[in-house]
Amino acid sequence: DGGITQSPKYLFRKEGQNVTLSCEQNLNHDAMYWYRQDPGQGLRLIYYSQIVNDFQKGDIAEGYSVSREKKESFPLTVTSAQKNPTAFYLCATRQALNTEAFFGQGTRLTVV
């Protein structure tokens, strides 16, 4: 089955712990993006990557880290430095510039 797979769907974390969210795609898309959504709000860009081994900070990168070692994978680590990590996290991909972006089903992270 083709598409964008985010896992896990739900994630609970204790304060002070790092946690990694997975985003895998088999669409052969070059660009990948991580967004955060808070209740009742739009999406805000955390990090994005246009090619393997390269990524750029988005608007709210503090407290997050990413890697892009493979074209298919763009994991997001939420570190203990992120003060308000409880949110809905969405991964997106795009084939190239001037094409539409597609989103995964998201991961709901709750800090307990």
Query: In the complex, which residues of this chain contact another protein (CB under 8 A)?
Result: 31, 33, 35, 37, 40-45, 48, 50, 56, 58, 88, 90, 92, 94, 97-103, 105-106, 108
> Smallest distance from the beta carbon of 35 to another protein, in angstroms?
8
Indicate the DSSP class of residue 107: E
Q: Characterise 107 by phi-psi region: left (phi > 0), alpha (psi -120 to 50), beta (else).
A: beta
User: To the nearest whole angstrom, how small is the minimum distance from the Cβ of residue 8 to another protein?
Assistant: 14
Cβ neighbours for 20, distance < 8 A, ≥ 6 positions apart: 75, 76, 77, 78
Closer CB to another protein, 16 or 42, in the complex: 42
Strands 10-13 and 107-111: parallel
Least separation in angstroms between CB 85 and another protein: 17
Nearer to another protein, 4 or 111 (CB): 4
- In 3D, which of 72, 104, 70 has the Cα closest to residue 88? 104
Amino acid at 110: T
Toward another protein, which CB reaches closer, 33 or 78?
33
Query: Concatenated DSSP letters for 38-50?
Result: -TT--EEEEEEEE
Rounded to a whole number of angstroms, the minimum distance from the CB of residue 108 to another protein is: 7
The nearer residue to another protein, 44 or 80, going by C-beta atoms, is 44
